[in-house]
Amino acid sequence: MNDQHNFCMLPDDERLPSDAKALEQDFHRYLIHHLGRFLGCNPYYQFKALSYTLRDRIMTDWLNTWKQHSKAKQRRAFYFSMEFLIGRSLGNNLLNMGLSDQTEKAMESFSLELEELEEQEHDAGLGNGGLGRLAACFLDSCATLKLPMLGYGLRYEYGMFRQEIENGFQVEEPDQWLRGGYPWELERSEYTQVVHFGGRTEHFRDPEGHPRARWVDTEDILAIPYDVPVCGYRNGVINTLRLWKSTATDVFNLAEFNAGDYVESVAAKNEAEHITMVLYPNDASENGKALRLKQQYFLASASLQDVMRQWELANGQDYSDFAEYHVFQLNDTHPAISVAELMRILLDEKKLDWDQAWSITRKTMAYTNHTLLPEALEKWPVHLFESLLPRLLEIIYEINARFLKEVAMRWPGDGDRRRRMSIIEESPVKSVRMAYLAIVGSFSVNGVADLHSNLLKKGLFRDFHELWPEKFNNKTNGVTPRRWLAYANPPLKRLISSEIGDEWICDLDRLEQLKPLAEDPDFQARWRQAKQENKARLARLVEKECGTVFPLDSLFDVQVKRIHEYKRQLLNVLHVIHLYDRIRRGDAGPDWCNRCVLFGGKAAPGYQMAKKIIKLINNVAEIVNGDPAVGDRLKVAFLPNYRVSSMEVIAPGTDLSEQISTAGKEASGTGNMKFMMNGALTIGTYDGANIEILNAVGEENFFLFGLKVEEVEALRRH
Q: How many CA atoms lie within 13 A of 388 on its CB side?
A: 20
Q: Does 153 bind ligand 26Q (CB under 6 A)?
A: no
The answer to whether 515 is a known catalytic residue is: no
The 3-state DSSP class for residue 244 equals strand
Within 658-677, the residues that bind ligand 26Q by CB under 6 A are 666-670
193-220 burial: b if 16+ Cβ within 10 Å, else e: bebbbebebeeeeeeeeeeeeebeebbe
Render 422-475 in DSSP notation, one character per residue.
-SEE-SSS-EEEHHHHHHHH-SEEEESSHHHHHHHHHTTTHHHHHH-GGGEEE-
Q: How far is the CB of 216 from ligand 26Q (least distance, A)?
A: 30
Min CB(682)–ligand 26Q separation in Å:
15
DSSP 127: S
Main-chain phi, psi angles of 372, to 5 degrees: -105, -10
Output phi, psi for 675, to 5 deg: -65, -45
> Mask: binding to ligand 26Q, 335-374, rule CB under 6 A, as x and -?
-----------------------------------xx---
Catalytic residue among 155, 245, 370, 633: 370
Task: Considering the complex, state which of residue 26 and residue 658 has its C-beta at the smaller distance from ligand 26Q.
Answer: 658
Strand partners, 599: 559, 638
CB-nearer residue toward ligand 26Q: 131 or 630 = 131
Closer to ligand 26Q by CB, 267 or 291: give it.
Answer: 291
In angstroms, rounded to a whole number, what is the distance separating the alpha carbons of residues 639 and 596?
A: 12
Q: Are 536 and 552 in contact (CB under 8 A)?
A: yes
- Among residues 292, 465, 493, 643, which is the contact residue for ligand 26Q, using CB under 6 A? 292
Minimum Å gap between C-beta 644 and ligand 26Q is: 13
Tell the smallest beta-carbon distance from residue 605 to ligand 26Q (Å). Answer: 12
User: How many residues lie near ligand 26Q (CB under 6 A)?
Assistant: 22
**Is residue 53 annotated as part of the catalytic site, yes or no?**
no
Among the listed residues 282, 310, 497, 594, the single contact to ligand 26Q using CB under 6 A: 282
Q: How far apart are CA 647 and CA 191, in angstroms?
A: 36
Q: Tell me if 134 contacts ligand 26Q by CB under 6 A.
A: yes
Angle at 327 between CA 322 and CA 329, to 5 degrees: 150
Q: Is 544 a residue of the active site?
A: no
Task: Choose between 370 and 391: whose C-beta lies nearer to ligand 26Q.
Answer: 370
Question: Is position 674 annotated as part of the catalytic site?
Answer: yes
In sequence order, what DSSP letters do the residues of 66-78 get, joined into one string? HHHHHHS-S-EEE
Q: What is the Cα–Cα distance from 229 to 62, expressed in whole angstroms?
A: 7
Alpha carbons 445 and 473: distance in angstroms, whole number: 6
Q: Which of 68, 70, 192, 285 binds ligand 26Q (CB under 6 A)?
A: 285
Contact pick of 286, 398, 499, 692 for ligand 26Q (by CB under 6 A): 286
**Element (H or E) spanning 242, and its range?**
strand 238-248
Comparing CA positions, the residue from 505, 490, 494 lying closest to residue 537 is 490
Stretch that binds ligand 26Q, among 201-209, 285-293, 388-396, 524-532 (CB under 6 A): 285-293
How far apart CA 16 and CA 19 sit, in angstroms, is: 9
Tell me if residue 69 is catalytic.
no
Ranked by CB distance to ligand 26Q, the top (closest) residue is 130
Q: Which of 283, 306, 341, 658 binds ligand 26Q (CB under 6 A)?
A: 283
Q: Does 477 bind ligand 26Q (CB under 6 A)?
A: yes
Of 128-136, 191-199, 345-353, 498-506: span binding ligand 26Q (CB under 6 A)? 128-136
| Residue 375 C-beta: closest distance to ligand 26Q, Å | 10
379 is catalytic: no
When the beta carbons of 483 and 635 are compared against ligand 26Q, the nearer one is 483
DSSP state of 9: P
Site string for ligand 26Q, 296-325 (x = CB under 6 A): ------------------------------
φ/ψ of 282, rounded to 5, equals -105, 140
The C-alpha atoms of residue 333 and residue 438 are separated, in whole angstroms, by 7
Exactly one of 60, 102, 128, 446 binds ligand 26Q (CB under 6 A); that residue is: 128
Contact indicator for 492, 652 with CB cutoff of 8 Å? yes
Query: Which of 48, 294, 326, 567 is the catalytic position?
Result: 567
Among all residues, which ones are annotated catalytic? 370, 561-562, 567, 670, 674
List interacting residues with ligand 26Q (CB under 6 A).
Answer: 128-131, 134, 280, 282-286, 292, 370-371, 448, 477, 666-670, 688
